[in-house]
Amino acid sequence: MQRNNPLTLLYDGLIVILALAFAAFFAMQIPTIAQGETIRITLPWVDFLDVNLSFYIDGLSLLFALIISVVGVFVALYSGAYLAGHPQLGRFRLYLMLFMMSMLGLVLSDNLVLLFVFWELTTITSYLLIGFLHETAQGRRSARQALLVTGGGGLAMMAGFVLLATMGGNWELSQLLTQGQSIKEHALYMPTLILLLCGAFTKSAQYPFHFWLPNAMAAPTPVSAYLHSATMVKGGIYLMARLYPVLGGTPSWMVILTVFGAITAVWGSIVAMRQNDMKLVLAYTTLMALGTLTMLLGSDNVVAITGMLTFLLVHSLYKSSLFLIVGAIDHESGTRKLNELGALAGKMPITMVSAAAAALSMAGIPPFLGFVSKEMIYSGAISLKNMSLFTTGSALIANFLMVAVAAVLILRPFFGPAVATPKKVHEAPLRMWLGPAILATLGLVMGVMAATTGHWLIQPAVQAVTNTQQEIHLALFHGFNTPLLLSALTLALGIGVFLAYRPLNGLLAKLESLVPVTGDKMYDHALNGIAKIAHWQTDILQNGSMHRYLATVFATIALAVGYTLFAKGGIVWPDMWPQLRFYEWVVVLLILASTVVTLLAQSRLVAISALGVIGSCVGLIYLMFGAPDVALTQVTVEILVVVLVTVALLKLPGHASVAEPSGSERFGRGVIAILIGSVFTLLLLAVNSVPLDMKITEYFAANSLTLAHGRNIVNVVLVDFRGFDTLGEITVLTVAGITAYQMIKLRLGRSGK
Amino acid sequence: MNNLLVMPIVIPFSAAVLGMMFNKYKMARRGISLAGSLALLVVSTLIMLTVQRQGIFALQMGLWKAPFGITFVADHLTAIMVMLTSIIGLIGVVYSFADIDEARESFGYYSLLQVLVGGVCGAFLAGDLFNLYVWFELILISSFSLLILGGEKAQIDGAIKYIAINLVATLMFLCGIVLLYGITGTLNMADLHLKVKDVANTGLLTGIGVLFIMAFGIKSAVFPLYFWLPASYHTPPVIVSAIFSGLLTKVGIYAFMRVFTLIFTQDVAYTHNMLLIIAGFTMVSGVLGAAAHNEIRKILLFHIISQIGYLLMGVALFSPLAMVGSVYFLGHIIIVKTNLLLIGGIIKRNAATLELKLVGGYYKSAPILAIMFFVSAFSLAGFPPLSGFWAKFVLIKSSLIQGSFGIAATALAVGLMTAYSMTKIWGEAFWKPNPQEDDCSKQALSNQERYLMYGPVIGLTIMTVVMGIWAQPFLEMSNYAAQELFNPANYVKAVLGVMP
């Protein structure tokens, strides 16, 4: 499996170095930011839309940037070994690198449009990475589902950004952060909030959009570790935290975030218990984490925000570590199903120790950082002014289930009876155990050095989110208080659940079956619904019938123009009945009679002849009004048309092969014909009520001989005054001639080429 | 210098005539057409530079001064459109070398293509309403000719529907012109801009305006008048569909932009609201049509319709910013939609079909093609940082600022549906394993054909990327065009020689 040629190693190395460079750069910014300063860099980009390449580093963006680059280092290191020998490894590296840079761009952007650009780039790279195993239908479906769900949310968010920038009069976040008060009182606050939360909730997989995340586990495991637990899914959390000073703290903000976050957290941890695939276990616990983060962001106190940011950090560490470990187990043993694994501790000792460290952090056992964050979450939840009981209760349920899940993840694969696995198990190669080990160790070190972590990493982020200069203190031991009691309760309940796993499992299954419809099913229904509507529309509109098309077109024209004339008062009735001479009446009646004959004719020949009569009568009218040349042209054309169409009709299949229109169809067509005729009559009557401006005619008459040297004004108009029209018209005739020739001569077969 | 304006007609027409004269010689007819297209590209660049340097300028044919003769006018919008036409013309000619068979070529394919290009340029340059009609007619007959060239059964069926419905549009356009002449006594558009202000019966004027909406609406394939497009565009060789999608419906949109800023602005609340409603339905209806199909070209054709909705939305919102969006969108969509169809053409040559269930595996077997499609498809769906993103962003921004929340929501939803369609094609044609792996009907392209077909595709893909990453100059240019449309005084001055 390991085919490490130098070039492959070089490429792998380049990404690792790039990530390392980012990590080092951001680490160097820690002292500056910890002093409460911010860094802003701006370059012009699309000035027309006030879009700048502006980046903003404060405590919040720095915390995220550090997580992204540090986890990125180990994921890049790991992937080269995990996918060694895969034919599309090059593409994978490219996507992974693009993702890392986009994700960094997302958290560092100061300009809202720039943030959106990076946001969508993470969606696209996520699409490509979920679909990396693209020859499986499951991979394709999951990739597309993630794209459509998060992409849809992204579009709503874009609208929200436009509204936000309109309210704040600025596209730069650093400016908007100071305008929270006026924006919260703006009439557009509610729609903006909902639109932005659509973006955040879809990206961060909050109920009811959570379903795409477990499906995204179709991606290779390093992708799940990186995008779908440590970084991209936290993009929505980042957005909400970032906008906390602008939009946060209102009753609607608090209720929406607390309730949806709690549902996501509790539901995620319950479902996690029921999974057999270790990746799915981790996916659902990620939902628990994302829900908890959202729920805490719904709070209004600094302690809860501190807990939220600490939990964000610790979750990124232990969860990416656990994902990578599951990947290593899968890689070495050929399976990641809990019931197909056992007693791996002896065969994979380093992996086991890392896994244990990560799981202890997840379960919130001292002295791991997970314990610190859990304590902070509890004390924040207790001190909430509103919904304190609800939040505390939800956190408690989610947390004790995490204890149970952590126990399952360690005890079942690594201990217990040995089970035969598809592959013979060895310890994972260096590149695959190093990352998880370091990430898990970081959880321990940071826990032991809680105060330092708090000062350098968490406090600046808390200050950025709350927009205050509040100092915070993290410690392993806060004295004997309610949070500690809750922690003890969490541990006890967690162990209880683990021990009572089997009976509880049945209960959970029942609970799960109570949910009437899952998001995943809803997604399918929505897609099927669209397809159904689409087919319905096509059957009605684009049904292939020429009659239907023309009838629709004419009816639309008649109704639109007719209604406008009527509604806008454009109709002008003539003052008196027209004073026609007797032979003029004859022509008019002849036209009317021929029209009726055309409508009623049973044979095409009769219909076309009747049309010919109408045309000839129009020629007569020209004659009566002193335009014999036009009349001559009209009559000639009319005769030609009748003759040619008749010849063509003789060649066409007879009536028998064409469906005879039914009575109602005939009636419908008659109505449309009469409507369109009436509309044009009304138009003409109205136009005729205005005297014609003869300026141009007079100019032609006056200058035809003197300037254009021609006595026949019509000819001069055709070849000189408006000669360019004539150029176009004769070209039309030429092309028509060529077309007729080619239609007769060139008949390719059905297949063409 | 102003004589430059007639060159976009003279060059293609000359190329057409010369091509016919030397039709017997394959290299000659190809060479002439290629030379004509290159020359047109040069001329369109010169026109663009002139407009940028000296503003709007006009040419009075035969020196008959406006409004008595025929005027050709170039402002930024015209310059942009002529430029785009010359690009699509050139790309069409090059791609046709590989995609058009000997039989079609020998029956004057390149000459017809040049006539079409000349007609389209004429429509963009015309400063006279009747002259615009003449170019519409020429576009119709030459496109009909290209559509039916080859005489395959499906082609004939499609072409008949195409011409029948489009003739209705031509007829309505002509009637509209006649009626407008009846109440104003002029055909020159700049003159009309001044004269319509004196029309007492504004109700009648609005009625005539709606007649123009219907005529241009058929031409640009809006709901519910678009039947001709899906009925015919899938029948000719793919390159013909691609050229049509790049040029034809866009002439209709151009006509909307021109006529509904210059002439029919007396009752914007009514006419432009009607346009907005049409725009919304067109977007939705087009995208649903695409959802109902499983053949690459048919899916793309219905997306032409839905994108027309966006273009019309910018016109309908009737604000400079929205117009910037529409003009930029025109450039974006002409490039991207043509490109997607050209990619379809390569797939069709390779797999002999465009049915999604019969093709697959191009992600693995043709990585370059995959990249080109992916970029274009996501640009079409409006993902940043590609051109489609800025196009939609400007439109949505302007609609939200103007409080038109309904159309903004529609545009966003349709954007998502476009992603739905594009990922459908991507998933089936590129990601899915090839279902006919060992099929001997697969033909490999010769090296020469590969260059001729990939060259245009790569060029157009680069354009959408450049328009996205380096959006500023393109938006600025669109802004000039929009400003000119909303301040017609300069246009009128360039044509009539006097400040209104």
Interface test with A, best of B213, B273, B298, B431 (most A CBs within 10 A): B431
Contact between chains at B393 and A49 (C-beta distance less than 8 A)? yes
Q: Where are the alpha helices (DSSP H) in A652-716?
A: 663-688, 695-703, 713-716
> Is B238 within 8 Å of B348 (Cβ atoms)?
yes
- Ramachandran angles phi, psi of A43, nearest 5°: -130, 150
What ipTM was estimated for this complex? 0.95
The pLDDT value given to residue A670: 85
A379 domain residue, yes or no? yes
Given A554, A572, A695, which is nearest B201 (Cβ)? A572
Instruction: Find the closest chain B residue to A749 by CA distance.
Output: B152
- A699 lies in the same domain as A681: no
Interface residue A686 vs chain B (CB under 8 A): yes
Given B130, B179, B397, which is nearest A162 (Cβ)? B397
Instruction: Find the closest chain A residue to B184 by CA distance.
Output: A693
Given B101, B142, B214, which is nearest A753 (Cβ)? B101
Tell me the average pLDDT across A357-378: 94
A370 domain residue, yes or no? yes
- A465 lies in the same domain as A614: no
A63 domain residue, yes or no? no
Q: For a pLDDT cut of 70, what percent of chain A falls above it? A: 98
Give the relative orientation of helices B268-291 and B296-317 as an angle to the nearest 10 degrees.
Answer: 160
The pLDDT value given to residue A579: 81
The pLDDT value given to residue A7: 79
For residue B415, how many C-alpha atoms fall within 13 Å in the half-sphere facing its CB?
Answer: 31
- A643 lies in the same domain as A710: no
Given B67, B152, B227, which is nearest A748 (Cβ)? B152
* pLDDT at A609 exceeding the cut of 50: yes
The pLDDT value given to residue A750: 47
Beta carbon pairs, A and B, within 8 Å: 302
User: A732 lies in which domain range?
Assistant: 693-753
Q: For a pLDDT cut of 70, what percent of chain B falls above it? A: 98
Band of pLDDT at residue B271, cut at 50, 70 and 90: very high
DSSP per position, B235-284: SS-HHHHHHHHHHHHHHHHHHHHHHHHHT--TTHHHHHHHHHHHHHHHHH
> Is A221 within 8 Å of A82 (Cβ atoms)?
yes
* Rg from Cα positions in chain A: 38
A243 domain residue, yes or no? no
Q: Where are the alpha helices (DSSP H) in B318-429?
A: 320-351, 362-365, 367-380, 387-401, 405-425
User: pLDDT tens digit string along A314-343?
Assistant: 999 999 999 999 999 999 999 999 989 988
**Residue A72, both tokens:** 């990125």
Please name which of B105, B117, B98 lies closest in space to residue B28, comparing C-alpha atoms: B105
Which residues of chain B make contact with A683, given a CB cutoff of 8 A?
175, 179, 204, 207-208, 211
Strands A51-57 and B57-60: unpaired
* pLDDT at A749 exceeding the cut of 70: no
| Chosen domain end from A668, A692, A716 | A692
Tell me the average pLDDT across B289-318: 96
The pLDDT value given to residue B367: 92
* CA distances for B30 relative to B8, B95, B102, angstroms: 19, 11, 11
Given B69, B134, B390, which is nearest A728 (Cβ)? B134
Domains of chain A: total: 3
Cα–Cα dist B401/B424, whole Å: 33
Interface test with A, best of B423, B428, B453, B465 (most A CBs within 10 A): B423
For residue B222, how many C-alpha atoms fall within 13 Å in the half-sphere facing its CB?
Answer: 30
Which residues of chain B make contact with A569, given a CB cutoff of 8 A?
203
A505 domain residue, yes or no? no
Nearest CA to CA, how far is A330 from chain B (Å)? 25
Given A144, A731, A735, which is nearest B427 (Cβ)? A144
- A686 lies in the same domain as A697: no
**What type of residue is B200?**
A
The pLDDT value given to residue A2: 46
Band of pLDDT at residue A1, cut at 50, 70 and 90: very low
Contact between chains at A542 and B227 (C-beta distance less than 8 A)? yes
**DSSP label of A276:** -
Which residues of chain B make contact with A753, given a CB cutoff of 8 A?
101, 237
Q: Is the dihedral of CA B49, B54, B58, B64 positive or negative?
A: negative
**Residue A700, both tokens:** 């032609």
**DSSP label of A110:** -
Interface residue A743 vs chain B (CB under 8 A): yes
The pLDDT value given to residue A602: 78
Q: Give residue B151's region: left, alpha or beta (phi > 0; psi -120 to 50).
A: left
For residue B139, how many C-alpha atoms fall within 13 Å in the half-sphere facing its CB?
Answer: 28
Interface residue B341 vs chain A (CB under 8 A): no
Sequence length of chain B is 500
- Ramachandran angles phi, psi of A711, nearest 5°: -85, -35
- A708 lies in the same domain as A736: yes
Tell me the average pLDDT across B285-302: 95
Sequence length of chain A is 753
Q: Which of residues 441-480 of B touch A (CB under 8 A)?
A: 471-472, 475-476, 479
* Least confident range of A172-186, A411-425, B14-28: A411-425
Which residues of chain A make contact with B213, given a CB cutoff of 8 A?
560
* Least confident range of A542-546, B162-166, B395-399: A542-546
Band of pLDDT at residue B424, cut at 50, 70 and 90: very high
* pLDDT at B197 exceeding the cut of 50: yes
Cα–Cα dist A512/A509, whole Å: 5
A183 domain residue, yes or no? no
- A476 lies in the same domain as A355: yes
Nearest CA to CA, how far is B229 from chain A (Å)? 10
Which residues of chain B make contact with A692, given a CB cutoff of 8 A?
182, 185
User: pLDDT tens digit string along A667-683?
Assistant: 888 899 899 999 999 99
Whole-number average pLDDT of chain A: 91
| Chosen domain end from A443, A467, A499 | A499
Count of beta carbons in the 10 Å neighbourhood of residue A611 = 19
Contact between chains at B138 and A728 (C-beta distance less than 8 A)? yes
Q: Which of residues 48-67 of A touch B (CB under 8 A)?
A: 48-49
The pLDDT value given to residue A506: 81
Q: Find all residues with CB under 8 Å of A647, minimum gap 6, and list them.
A: none
Please name which of B301, B225, B279, B302 lies closest in space to residue B411, comparing C-alpha atoms: B279
- A570 lies in the same domain as A657: yes
**H/E stretch holding A44:** strand A39-46
Return the residue matching tokens 């709007």.
B56
Instruction: Find the closest chain B residue to A684 by CA distance.
Output: B179
Tell me the average pLDDT across A600-627: 88
Adjacent-strand bridge partners of B355: B295
Interface residue A676 vs chain B (CB under 8 A): no
A735 domain residue, yes or no? yes
Cα–Cα dist B482/B325, whole Å: 9
Given B160, B206, B431, which is nearest A131 (Cβ)? B431
Please name which of A115, A69, A114, A117 lies closest in space to residue A96, comparing C-alpha atoms: A69
Which residues of chain A make contact with B107, given a CB cutoff of 8 A?
741-742, 745-746
Tell me the average pLDDT across B323-352: 95
Contact between chains at B384 and A533 (C-beta distance less than 8 A)? no
B266-294 exposure pattern, b = at least 16 Cβ within 10 A, e = fewer: ebeebbbebbbebbbebbbbbbbbbbbbe
- A727 lies in the same domain as A585: no
Band of pLDDT at residue A541, cut at 50, 70 and 90: confident
The pLDDT value given to residue A751: 46
Interface test with A, best of B324, B416, B428, B437 (most A CBs within 10 A): B416
The pLDDT value given to residue A753: 40
**Residue B252, both tokens:** 């209709």
Count of beta carbons in the 10 Å neighbourhood of residue A2 = 7
User: A663 burial class (0-12, 13-18, 19+ CB within 10 angstroms)?
Assistant: exposed
Tell me the average pLDDT across A165-190: 93
Interface residue B328 vs chain A (CB under 8 A): no
User: pLDDT tens digit string along B369-412?
Assistant: 999 999 999 999 999 999 999 999 999 999 999 999 999 999 99
- A564 lies in the same domain as A648: yes
Tell me the average pLDDT across B32-40: 97
User: pLDDT tens digit string along B234-253?
Assistant: 999 999 999 999 999 999 99
User: pLDDT tens digit string along A59-97?
Assistant: 999 999 999 999 999 999 999 899 988 888 889 999 999
> Is B282 within 8 Å of B226 (Cβ atoms)?
yes
Full-model pTM: 0.95
Contact between chains at B291 and A531 (C-beta distance less than 8 A)? yes
* CA distances for B250 relative to A99, B123, B217, B299, B334, angstroms: 37, 11, 11, 19, 8
Nearest CA to CA, how far is B386 from chain A (Å)? 10
Q: Where are the alpha helices (DSSP H) in A37-136?
A: 59-82, 89-108, 112-130
**Residue A377, both tokens:** 């979450």
> Is B174 within 8 Å of A556 (Cβ atoms)?
no
Cα–Cα dist A13/B382, whole Å: 34
Contact between chains at A742 and B383 (C-beta distance less than 8 A)? no
The pLDDT value given to residue A658: 56
Please name which of A400, A417, A414 lies closest in space to residue A499, comparing C-alpha atoms: A400
Compute the CA torsion angle A386, A388, A393, A396 (nearest 10 deg): 130
Interface residue A151 vs chain B (CB under 8 A): yes
Write down the number of H helices and E strands in chain A: 32, 2
Interface residue A654 vs chain B (CB under 8 A): no
Please name which of A504, A516, A515 lies closest in space to residue A267, comparing C-alpha atoms: A515
- A686 lies in the same domain as A739: no
Nearest CA to CA, how far is A140 from chain B (Å)? 6
Give the relative orientation of helices A137-168 and B405-425 as an angle to the nearest 10 degrees.
Answer: 160
> Is B230 within 8 Å of B285 (Cβ atoms)?
no
User: pLDDT tens digit string along A552-597?
Assistant: 999 999 999 999 999 999 899 888 777 888 888 999 999 999 988 8
Nearest CA to CA, how far is B42 from chain A (Å)? 23
A305 domain residue, yes or no? yes
**Residue A729, both tokens:** 């018209």
Interface residue B400 vs chain A (CB under 8 A): yes
More confident call, A193 vs A601? A193
- A559 lies in the same domain as A688: yes
- A391 lies in the same domain as A441: yes
Q: Which of residues 205-224 of B touch A (CB under 8 A)?
A: 205-211, 213-214, 218, 224
Please name which of B154, B19, B148, B15 lies closest in space to residue B86, comparing C-alpha atoms: B15
The pLDDT value given to residue A655: 53
**Residue A353, both tokens:** 């120790």
The pLDDT value given to residue B439: 55
**DSSP label of A423:** S
